[in-house]
Amino acid sequence: MNRISRKLALTVAGAALVAPLAGTSVAGASLAPTQGETSGSNVTAVSDDTVQTKATISGATVITRAKKWLTANNGKPVPYSQVSNWKDGYRQDCSGFVSMAYAYGKPGLNTVGLADSSVSTRFTSKNNLRKGDTIIDPNGTSTSRHVVLFEKWANSAKTQYWAVEQRGTYGTTYRKLSYGIGSDQYDFYRQKKLS
């Protein structure tokens, strides 16, 4: 059963977990619904390469892919949704968006999965941030967990940075943020496939 549970990928829009599999994990990452993720009833077994952690991707490519969602909706941002997948097959929540930018398997990892040590490495110094890094709150509630993509510093004091994110009400946005810089629930993570 462990091998089967590791190979499950959700196929329903916004689906992150089916009721009979509550508590199941992929490589130690909980698949419980996170921000923008709901329970569903359809799953499909897929190969281990669905997560695609071995293929590398540059930070520039991650940001370029992410910024495509700023205008992918007929010149407008892809709308945020807790229940839908976008035309490309990725969930329209924050973690589905980051999964798309990193070319992880569809419909994407959840927020907790993106922070899991099997796919990312946590670090503490903001001075180590580089293009394409993820800034994640994996410990909040299902409505507060969140992930954003770091692009570059917005000022020399390193108190704000430019980020691309998928967020409620606004959809895909590119803006200055300070998540993770002060004492909040956000931490810095480098996805292992970042080259």
Q: CATH number of the domain at 75, please.
A: 3.90.1720.10
Give the pLDDT of residue 52. Answer: 53
Residues of the chain with pLDDT under 70: 1-54
Q: Which domain holds residue 85?
A: 2-191
Number of structural domains the chain divides into: 1
Give the pLDDT of residue 53. Answer: 53
Angle between helix axes 94-101 and 59-68 (nearest 10 degrees) is 130
Q: What are phi and psi of 15, to 5 degrees?
A: -75, 135
Give the pLDDT of residue 163. Answer: 99
Give the pLDDT of residue 166. Answer: 98
What span, in angstroms and rounded, lies between the C-alpha atoms of 129 and 142? 26
